Amino acid sequence: MKDEMLFRIEAATANLALGIAALGLLTQEDCYPILEQLDFLYGEEEFCFQKVESEIPQNSDISRRYCLHYIIDDLKSESDRQRIKENFLQMLLNNLLRETFEGIKYYCTPEISNQRELFVAQPWYRFAKVIRNCLSHNYMINAPNKDLPVCWRSLTITKEMNNGYLEFSFLGIIQILELVKEMKEFAKNVLT
């Protein structure tokens, strides 16, 4: 079971790396002509980036077609491209933090390894729990006041911040990666 938990965490880390690579490619103007010709199948669903006016043929293996051509126009716009990059990166980081936290949390349940007390005793646990809940609930900090403040390194979530939005600038990319690194080290080296 520990191997499965670690695999889940590493998969989320790999998804972050692939997402960042995709983001780097998608923000290069010379990729737009290639992207405009791209279509791919996922099961019975087709995703395409060119404007498609035709209906799906009757005898086709395709059950649905999703045309995503609008994203190319958005990528060509400097302001939209910046917004897309920020949102996409934020989604990748949120997924990494959530998958890491939830994977460890599940592994530590009484049914699996019964190490919950060890998990909640970690110096990053309370902070990570508030951040994880915030990311899953529209970036709204919503913790019982008795649980605040929570601190990790130089960052503090105070009672005054409760019921407000978590700004991306509060917890940047490097801090999220460092928090996840501490969680991964705990999972690999402390949990049995």
Q: What is the pLDDT of residues 88-97, one digit of tens each?
A: 888 898 899 9
Q: Are residues 157 and 139 in contact, defined by beta-carbon separation less than 8 angstroms?
A: no
pLDDT at 130 over 90: yes
Q: What is the pLDDT of residues 141-169, one digit of tens each?
A: 999 889 899 999 999 999 999 999 988 77
Prediction pTM value: 0.83
How big, in percent rounded to 5, are the helix, strand and coil portions of the chain?
55, 10, 30
Q: What is the pLDDT of residues 79-115, one digit of tens each?
A: 888 888 888 888 898 899 999 999 999 999 999 999 9
Please give the sequence-ordered ranges of beta strands (E in DSSP) within the chain, or none if there are none: 39-42, 45-48, 64-67, 150-152, 155-157
User: Residue 184: helix, strand or coil by DSSP?
Assistant: helix
Q: What is the pLDDT of residues 19-45, one digit of tens each?
A: 999 888 888 888 888 888 888 887 878
